[in-house]
Amino acid sequence: MEFGPIIRALKRNKVRFLLIVVQIAITLAVVTNAITMIRDESVKMMKTSGFDDENIVWVRTKPFAPGFKDLPYRIAAVNADLRAIQATPGVVAVANTNFLPWQGGGSSGEVAAGGGDGSKFRTQMYTNTPGILDALGVHLVSGRGLRDTDIDDDPNSKAPSTAIISRDLERLVFKGKSAIGRQLQDSDNTVINVVGTFDPFYNPYGWPIHEYAVFYAGHVSRRGAMYLVRVAPGSMKQTVPLIEKRMLQANNGRNIDMKTISEIKDNYFAQGRIVRTTMSMVIALIVLVTGLGIVGVTAFSVTERRKQIGTRRALGATKASVLRYFLLENWIVTNAGLILGVAAAYGLNVLLVTKTAGAKLDWRIVVAAVVLLWIQGIIATLIPAMRATRFSPVIATRGA
């Protein structure tokens, strides 16, 4: 209905509207890709370890007493610690282990199925006392858990060791068959008897072996003992100082470090959080800035057309029709920007994917951003256009 005059007005002010078109196009490109980055990071952060992360604390001892040079002394100290920690009020379970969730790595090695085709699989490998599954809050799926009698403290022992493995590793290595009673061989050709499987297990690693784990039975004491302690829900604050006190009572020839898994996890996701926070801010600000740009340009064109609007009003145009005129004008400009923007969004995405290994653009995000920018355009136009409706028809009869 009013397309003719609008198009002619746009043609007369080409550059002004072109600026808005380009701005909207870049905005769409940035917003869609920023949302993609946020979603990418969020997906990573949504990953759960399957452990009772909020209630686990990591304890590390840094021994200095000369006695710790001696293996039997160290083992005795570990056992004393386990008893002392377990007896601390608020503690649910404890294990001596070199596994630390969410540190972004760990220790790994290669295993092959005993009697299999010899193909090797890389997996995370940790040494633990039997309390490990309880300390993580993870369930045994088949077989049995580790026992104290599985532990062999002789460093020169050639006897097979005992281990439980994650269910995903069982699937990978034993091709869907049960691992219970089967053997694994590590790169030293040491035989590992698998006695049980557990689930879930997820610990992000530098290599794609996040779900695979072998938990050997054993003590960890060489460079200071480490423990994972699970406490009763909500009792972390009171329990942590108690644990330290009890451990120093047991043996004060060492220093003790404690970190909750939540802290370690926070640290692991720090960069992801920066990406999320800053990209959210960028989205908000870019929409704001572009919105202000639209407000500005519309305000100028309203001022410029004061007389025209007054004349139209004098000739019987309603307030609604004045509003409709500006909204329609903005809608045409916005749509031109969005069409250009969709192309720009995919262009930028291709660049980010190839140059920076970002995630692919999801069309649903594009649709959502288009809707967002439509709404932004309407609001940004309404603010100055409302002013236009208040111009009195009297303007028309005055000089200028």
Residues forming contacts to another protein in the complex (CB under 8 A) are 15-16, 19-20, 22-23, 26-27, 29-30, 33-34, 37, 41, 62-64, 66, 69, 105, 109-110, 120, 122, 155-156, 187-189, 206-207, 223-224, 255, 267, 270-271, 273-275, 277-279, 282, 285-286, 289-290, 292-293, 296-297, 299-300, 303-304, 348, 351-352, 355-358, 399-400
Handedness of CA 355, 357, 360, 361 (dihedral sign): negative
In the complex, least distance from residue 78 CB atom to another protein, rounded to whole angstroms: 17
Give the Å distances, CA to CA, from 125 to 258, 269, 350.
23, 23, 38
* Strand segments (E) across the chain: 56-63, 91-96, 108-113, 120-128, 139-143, 161-166, 183-186, 191-199, 213-217, 226-231, 254-260
Alpha helices in 47-163 (DSSP H): 71-86, 132-136
Nearest partner of 337 among 385, 297, 302, 304, judged by Cα? 297
In the complex, least distance from residue 12 CB atom to another protein, rounded to whole angstroms: 12
The smaller minimum CB distance to another protein, of residues 119 and 149, is found at: 119
In the complex, least distance from residue 237 CB atom to another protein, rounded to whole angstroms: 22
The smaller minimum CB distance to another protein, of residues 300 and 363, is found at: 300
Neighbours of 231 (CB within 10 A): 26
In the complex, least distance from residue 144 CB atom to another protein, rounded to whole angstroms: 29
The smaller minimum CB distance to another protein, of residues 141 and 386, is found at: 386
The smaller minimum CB distance to another protein, of residues 89 and 104, is found at: 104
Backbone φ and ψ for 93, nearest 5 degrees, come out as: -155, 155
In the complex, least distance from residue 315 CB atom to another protein, rounded to whole angstroms: 23
Q: Are strands 191-199 and 139-143 parallel, antiparallel or unpaired?
A: antiparallel
In the complex, least distance from residue 361 CB atom to another protein, rounded to whole angstroms: 13
Cβ pair 219, 127 in contact under 8 A: yes
